[in-house]
Amino acid sequence: MDDQQFYFDLVKGAIFGQAIGDALGHPIEFQKTHVVEGLEPDNKFTDDTQMFCAIGEAMLEAPPHIDIEKFMEALSQRFIDWRNNPLGGSHRAPGNTCMEAVRKLGTGRHWRQTGKTAQGKGNGSAMRAGIIGARYWKQPAYAFRLGCLISVPTHNNLESILASGMVAFLVAASIAGREWDEAVADGLELCSAFENNVPDYPTNNVPFNNGRDGQSPWKAIMLFANGFIRATDTSPEEFVKGNGNDFTAVPAVAEAIYYNTRHDMFDEMVLECANNSDDSDTITAITGTIAGARWGFDGINEDWGGDLDGQKDWKQSIEMREYLHDLSRRIFEASIEDAPTKETKEVGASVEHTLDIDEFGSDDEAFGDEKVDSITVKDDEEFEVEF
């Protein structure tokens, strides 16, 4: 396999991993009526993947590194189109926060004015952010910033914003070849420097605290790190119980980090995730897109070998697989044809942020010369997060 085919396999893995994880978890979302053992004949992906694909189409239509405002306008229109005519022909359990925000977009409201702020902590943006990383895998720090920004139209709370950025970053960094522990540490460092790295977040009407109506980047960092740290010594039942409510964004992404740290095979990871998560479609979609970026399309069902033991091949049985193949090809071709250049401008709340990114190159300079071994975060109390 040549280099181009190798990276295409990882991009396609991220896209198929999202859809497969979503479809695996869908039948038992919030109701553990049976154990999922594979894709069932009528398994369909949900709004998570529908909106994920809408972002992909918006990036192809209006590349954000060329004009961020035009991209956000295209994204807004793609979301409106999703509400009116969803991919696959039907809505599949869309969240109220997303639907309300998209309805506002449809009335002509600007995308900065439609997202929930104080209580916008749901996982509706993290669930769809992986495709940002698949598109901008050569620039993981840029993927982080863009992943943060695409949360704003629906979930304009720093907790959801960071969760969305973290998913985009982990997908991008995994495709780019960073080791998993390094990728998690780098993502935490980006989160900790949110004042420089997050292009838009509420500052006037949402206090920085752990309360229901606040926002706590420090809580996000702590839970993301905890997902990595506790993976080797905590069972899924114990972790989910201590992690908190996984239909909010930060616990959801922490759970995805937990399962990705715990396993080194795609299939066993997503099955354990689906069968142990409450919001099982969303958590398994996030887990699956990260895992697919790490092991690629060929890594899905790899542990089955030549004998599928009576189960259908997930890559063949997932709905709309021809569309997903085509989207994967177009996203990958875009990722190698053009990229952010030095002095690319991000539109922020009140200040333009200059990104220093080498075209087609690494953006390790975004992290400085030293890799951190620990991060001290402050809120109502102080936490020490170690790796």
Q: Do residues 215 and 206 make contact, with C-beta atoms less than 8 angstroms apart?
A: yes
Residues in the chain, overall count: 387
For 83, phi then psi, to 5°, come to: -65, -35
Alpha helix (H) ranges present in 249-355?
Answer: 249-262, 266-276, 280-295, 314-317, 321-337
Distance of CA 197 to the CA centre of its chain: 17
Q: Do residues 214 and 208 make contact, with C-beta atoms less than 8 angstroms apart?
A: yes
| Residues whose CB falls within 8 Å of the CB of residue 299, separated by 6 or more in sequence, listed in order | 13, 265, 266, 291, 292
Indicate the burial class of 4 (C-beta count within 10 angstroms; 0-12, 13-18, 19 or more): exposed
Give the separation between CA 141 and CA 298, rounded to whole angstroms.
26
For 248, phi then psi, to 5°, come to: -105, 160
Q: Residue 32's pLDDT is what?
A: 63
Could you identify the residue written with the tokens 């401008």?
Answer: 345
Give the separation between CA 154 and CA 117, rounded to whole angstroms.
9
- Pull the structure tokens for residue 359: 């075209």
Q: Residue 304's pLDDT is what?
A: 65
Domain boundaries, the chain: 3-200+210-386
Q: Do residues 318 and 19 make contact, with C-beta atoms less than 8 angstroms apart?
A: yes
Residues 88-125 pLDDT 10s: 776 666 778 888 999 999 999 999 999 999 888 998 89
Give the separation between CA 252 and CA 290, rounded to whole angstroms.
13
Give the separation between CA 154 and CA 353, rounded to whole angstroms.
22
Residues 21-65 pLDDT 10s: 999 987 666 566 667 777 876 788 989 999 999 999 999 999 999
Single out the residue of 183, 184, 176 nearest to residue 358, CA to CA.
176
Bridge partners, residue 384, by sequence: 376
Single out the residue of 165, 145, 161 nearest to residue 346, CA to CA.
145
Distance of CA 189 to the CA centre of its chain: 17
| DSSP states along 65-134 | TT-HHHHHHHHHHHHHHHHHS-TTSS--S--HHHHHHHHHHHTT--GGGSSB-TT--BSTTGGGTHHHHH
pLDDT less than 70: residues of the chain: 1, 27-34, 41, 90-93, 246, 303-311, 338-387
Could you identify the residue written with the tokens 């749901």?
Answer: 122
Could you identify the residue written with the tokens 């979302």?
Answer: 29
Give the separation between CA 150 and CA 236, rounded to whole angstroms.
30
Q: Do residues 56 and 331 make contact, with C-beta atoms less than 8 angstroms apart?
A: yes
> Per the CATH hierarchy, to which homologous superfamily does domain 3-200+210-386 belong?
ADP-ribosylation/Crystallin J1 (1.10.4080.10)
| Cα first-last separation, the chain | 34
Give the separation between CA 68 and CA 202, rounded to whole angstroms.
19
